[in-house]
Amino acid sequence: MNYSEVLENARKNIGPKCKVCLVCDGLGCGNTLPGPGSKGPGNGANDNYKAWRKIKLNMDTIVENTEIDTSTEFFGYKLAFPVVSGPIGSIRKQFNPTDDIRDFNDKCMAACESRGLLHFYSTGLEPMVQEANIATRLRHSNCGVPIINPEADDSIIHQMNNCNETVSPLAMGVVVDSAGLPHLKACHGTGGTKSIEQLRMLKEKARVPFIVKGVMTVEGALKAVEAGADAIIVSNHGGRVLSDVPATAEVLEEISEAVDHRAKVIVDGGIRSGIDLFKAYALGADLCLICRPVLVSYYGGRQEGIECYFDKLYEELKDTMYMCGARKISDIKRKMIRVKFD
């Protein structure tokens, strides 16, 4: 199966809300929410995508012709290249009523296991799904990292304890920006935005490296670090929680400089190719998260479709490193890109 076939199959299976555009740039889905789109007026996902296009590569092929090593590590886990697939809470509500998020998580983790990557999975809102996700993680060499919704603290702690009951995951996270997700607001009960103190308490309960997802400012990043976060995800939830915030590519460098290696910096939002992975690394990211294209690839070929997309990302990253003079991930430097956001 090649990537064009994956997209062709996805068009038949994904339902009417996603147009399976040639490039997943947020234009086809606009404000389709529930669905794959962005919060009204619907420009957020496209803003993220466009920002990566404003970063150009400095090509340099006057370097020794040696092997390319794309591998990296995340809290002791060796990744084949610096990408993880992103959390999705429900596909039944977002795409087709008969779809099952448990199968999506299973196929994602299977693909990650076979390609040496990690799947950051949403624990969702249903205990039945949460239990199935834990079993799936254990079945697939523990290659899943739970990302929990900002529900009431006792509910988050309950989920963390359940995750730790057998084999603890590599890390755990809370997605703080889901506080703004229109169709989830009603389901979070007394949950919602979290204070530094609440995050500090949740970090202690996690007992494994703690991730805060949904940071978009230097101030927010410093608050997450103060709370003890071991990693932050620079993310605006793919434009789904607030419109007219900057693109993640625009704030990544200043946030990464401010964090200054006190926490790992992960970024998502409009990252579509291995070229984008290279750019994110050059701007200071330790890892990239990709969501929508993985979902499309699932509809286009389940595990095989996702593997096909991962293979494409890997080849693109390898080629970009080769052409810009980087032989290993730590060789990727700021001077290898030029950035013009204005």
Ligand X SMILES: Cc1cc2nc3c(=O)[nH]c(=O)nc-3n(C[C@H](O)[C@H](O)[C@H](O)COP(=O)(O)O)c2cc1C
Q: Which positions touch ligand X (CB under 6 A)?
A: 36, 45, 48, 86-89, 94, 122, 147, 175, 178, 213, 235, 237-238, 240, 268-271, 290-292
Contact 51, 247 (CB under 8 A): yes
Please state the φ and ψ torsions of residue 71, each to the nearest 5 degrees. Answer: -75, 155
State the minimum distance, in angstroms, from the CB of residue 154 to ligand X. 20
State the minimum distance, in angstroms, from the CB of residue 92 to ligand X. 11
Nearer to ligand X by Cβ, of 36 and 228: the residue is: 36
State the minimum distance, in angstroms, from the CB of residue 294 to ligand X. 8
State the minimum distance, in angstroms, from the CB of residue 78 to ligand X. 23
State the minimum distance, in angstroms, from the CB of residue 170 to ligand X. 17
- Sorted by sequence, the CB contacts under 8 Å of residue 97 that are 6+ apart come out as none
Q: How many residues does the chain have?
A: 342
State the minimum distance, in angstroms, from the CB of residue 123 to ligand X. 8
Other Cβ atoms less than 10 A from the Cβ of 138: the count is 14
Tokens of 149: 């919704």
Q: Rounded to whole angstroms, how far apart are CA atoms 187 and 36?
A: 19
Q: Tell me whether the omega of the peptide bond preceding residue 34 falls within 30 degrees of 0, making it cis.
A: yes
Nearer to ligand X by Cβ, of 184 and 326: the residue is: 184
Nearer to ligand X by Cβ, of 112 and 175: the residue is: 175
Nearer to ligand X by Cβ, of 140 and 240: the residue is: 240
Q: Rounded to whole angstroms, how far apart are CA atoms 58 and 118?
A: 30
Contact 35, 95 (CB under 8 A): yes
Nearer to ligand X by Cβ, of 302 and 326: the residue is: 302
- Sorted by sequence, the CB contacts under 8 Å of residue 4 that are 6+ apart come out as none
Residue 101: what residue type?
A: I
DSSP secondary structure, 19-77, as one string: ---SS--STTTTT-TTTT--STT--HHHHHHHHHHTEEE-----S-----B--EEETTE
State the minimum distance, in angstroms, from the CB of residue 73 to ligand X. 22
Nearer to ligand X by Cβ, of 296 and 326: the residue is: 296
Nearer to ligand X by Cβ, of 69 and 155: the residue is: 155
